[in-house]
Chains A and B, each alone.
Chain A
Amino acid sequence: MDERKVGSLRLTLDFSQPLYEQILAQMRSLIARGAIDVGEKIPSVREMAHELKINPNTVMHAYQELERDGLTEKRRGQGTFVTESVTQIRHFKERLAFDYSDQFLDKMHSLGFRWTEIQSFLTTTREKKGER
């Protein structure tokens, strides 16, 4: 695992996993949790490729997906920016939260746990991790 800085952002790349998915997942999180601000410019494809030492095609592919998510917008001759729409980011975040919850519940159900048990697992885990 390599941690690399791109402008003010920190990204981690693990060359044993597809790179496209890692960039996409990390950029999504950075935008969703506000580490990159609403309306802020994100690093250019070229800058990102140079700092991560990877193929610009891979970065471009991830950037296209961010745009499809509605998280970013390209502005002609200026670069790519995080959307100005707070609602859009919130919608994306909620959609992702539902996906994660869904996957988690599916896994717990496949082990045969019921809701009350799942709840107690959540409470215990949260206590172990310390409240965040």
Chain B
Amino acid sequence: MSEQIISAKGLTKRYGGKTAVENLTLNVEKGRVLGMLGANGAGKSTFFRMIVGLVQPDDGHLEVLGKEPGWRTNAEIAYLPDRARWYGDYTTKQSIEWGARFLPGFDSEEAARLRDIMRLPMDLKAGEMSKGQEARLMLILCMARRVPLVILDEPFSGIDGSSREHIMDVLIDALSEKQQTLLISTHEIYEAEGLFDRVVFLDQGRVALSGDAESLRGQYGSIDALSRKLYREGEK
């Protein structure tokens, strides 16, 4: 059996009377791409925050890279939070220098390569960037790290079509060149359709459906179509 990167058993998290994640069990093996899918508030971000130790589960067990989540495991995780913002007075260049100094496993050459792909001006300040440019800057800081696990919460949101293609190229390289494990949440599935090895559909904190992307395709058609179907049913 391959190395387990994430091993979650019966994870549950409640906020007051509201259940954010309920009895979530899943394993992710090394080198795989897990798509966490579902509407806003389905529990995707809560699950990611548990992996990086920002949220403590009320119940259940979670192992990340074979250990309990904490600062030690976080050094080996590149995490892009949902709706992340960056320091407004940092230029692209200064941000990359900051990354080289403070982020474990940061590879400056890789950052330069990614900056070329993402076409981000070196001397532009984050505060003067468009939403998409800022998102790309933060993605560069994540993807330039040589760490085994990458977690991207909504990496495509607010990003235009051609930049999405660049992001896809960077993610494909992360798999073929660096053997990283990726967890990605998105509700814009169409772009990333071909990337997932496994998908988990969350609905109000519960797993509505999960499985191997190729088998689900054989059974129900595209992941994109399946998601729209599940989502419509959920609205009824």
Contacts and interface: CB of A to CB of B under 8 A. Distances in A.
A57 B172 contact: no
B222 A15 contact: yes
24 contacts: A15-B193, A15-B224, A16-B217, A17-B217, A18-B218, A19-B194, A20-B214, A46-B176, A46-B177, A49-B172, A49-B176, A50-B172, A53-B165, A53-B168, A54-B194, A55-B33, A55-B172, A55-B175, A55-B196, A56-B175, A56-B176, A57-B32, A57-B197, A58-B214
Contacts of A32: none
Contacts of A54: 172, 194-195
Given A16-B225, A18-B217, A57-B32, A52 B175 contact: no
A80 to B, nearest CB: 14
A17 B225 CA distance: 12
B38 interface: no
Interface in B77-108: none
B218 A15 contact: no
B172 A56 contact: yes
A79 B93 CA distance: 37
Contacts of B221: 16-17
Contacts of B197: 55, 57
Contacts of A20: 214
Interface of B: 31-33, 165, 168-169, 172-173, 175-177, 193-197, 214-215, 217-218, 221-225
Contacts, number: 58
Which of B217, B222, B223 gathers the greatest number of chain A CB atoms within 10 Å?
B217
Contact of B176 (A17, A45, A53): A45
A13 interface: yes
B2 to A, nearest CB: 11
Contacts of B175: 49, 55-57
- Interface pairs A-B: 10 shortest CB-CB: A54-B194, A16-B221, A56-B176, A15-B222, A18-B214, A16-B222, A46-B176, A18-B218, A49-B172, A56-B175
